[in-house]
A and B are shown apart, each in its own frame.
Chain A
Amino acid sequence: MDLCVNGQNREFPQPLNVEQLLEHLELKPERIVVELNREILTIDRHADIQLQDGDTLELIQFVGGG
């Protein structure tokens, strides 16, 4: 499956939902804001959304402090 992640085209061996993609990339979902095709997703939808070939994602990572 081909996805565009943070501006880079990447190939993944198997179909993934958003939750599985973050796991595959070793990212902690509660620290990431996911924008899929210019739409922001809340964390409760990660497991329900099956990614499609050609999807564009921005994965914005947050660290603590404020």
Chain B
Amino acid sequence: MQIFVNEHSCQVEAETRLYELRDRQKPNADLLIVNGYPVSEDQQLKGGDRVVLIRRGKQPTSADLEALMRARHTPGVHEKIKNSCVGIAGVGGLGSSIAIALVRVGVGKLVVADFDLVEPSNLNRQHYFIDQIGLPKVLALQESLQRINPGVQVETIQERITPKNLLIHFSTVDVMVEAFDAADQKTMLISHFLRDCPQIPLVAASGMAGYAPSNSITTRKAANNLYLCGDGITAVLPGQGLMAPRVGIAAHHQANAVLRLLLGEEPE
């Protein structure tokens, strides 16, 4: 019969038992999961079962992780995502969450730019940790991304992005992401990038402060090759700060728009 062991399809004899399989394939495994449930007793397996054999505390190899990722996606999708490169300008509340989502889904290469260091006030919404305070954000993020998937390529740029250096860093990405904080920086990046690289789609964000209803945040096509996520109106004001849930919603709208573009779908 055919079963799946650690997401690899394999043929085993009918009536094979779980412990027998473990002893043959991974004798030191101390956590056995059958069809999503951890099991503590031996049992007979049946065709189509999905068995995961884990040795606690041992990291999977890059090849194992690759097989796990591939198995999670429709055939063909994983390759497309893995061979793609996404640029992210700004890795604060939006950019850090976008990067995490894109690495989890299997994007093979990210180019991340930010001149800033991790500060205590960032921890209310940005994907950094207390032991990363004082580190350049791009290096702290690179460390976190490689903890999720050591195979991801992360190019870090610890510089302020200007019209002069924008193309040096980002002209070869498949999709570009604007994830800055200040409105004038957003418009600078978008107008220069789309003027000089009009063939590369750009996903930007505007309006995600406070705790207004989640469903006011949308993704829309705002211009040729420009996709805009957010509610378009809620600016950062006294009494209306940036908070993790809504910034996260906007960030994941952006990440999903990137994913759709990589897979040849319109984000809207």
Contact = CB atoms under 8 A, between A and B. Distances in A.
Interface in A3-62: 30-35, 38-43, 58, 60-62
Given A40-B194, A65-B236, A31 B183 contact: yes
Given A31-B187, A64-B236, A65-B242, A40 B223 contact: yes
A39 B135 CA distance: 39
Contacts, number: 88
Given A43-B191, A61-B206, A35 B184 contact: no
B56 interface: no
B182 interface: yes
Interface residues of A, number: 20
A33 B234 contact: no
A61 B242 CA distance: 19
Interface string B75-87: 0000000000000
A5 to B, nearest CB: 13
Contacts of B223: 33, 35, 38, 40, 58, 60
Contacts of B179: 66
B86 to A, nearest CB: 17
A10 B179 CA distance: 33
A63 B198 contact: no
Contact of A42 (B182, B192, B247): B192
B207 interface: yes
A42 B164 CA distance: 13
Interface string B137-160: 000000000000000000000000
A42 B191 contact: yes
Interface in B178-196: 179-184, 186-188, 190-192, 194-195
A66 B188 CA distance: 15
Contacts of A33: 187, 190-191, 222-223, 226
Contacts of B224: 35, 38, 40
Contacts of B205: 66
A35 B190 CA distance: 11
Contact of B184 (A31, A34, A38, A60): A31
Contacts of B191: 33-34, 40-43
Contacts of B187: 30-33, 43, 62
Contact of A66 (B90, B163, B192, B234): B90
B18 interface: no
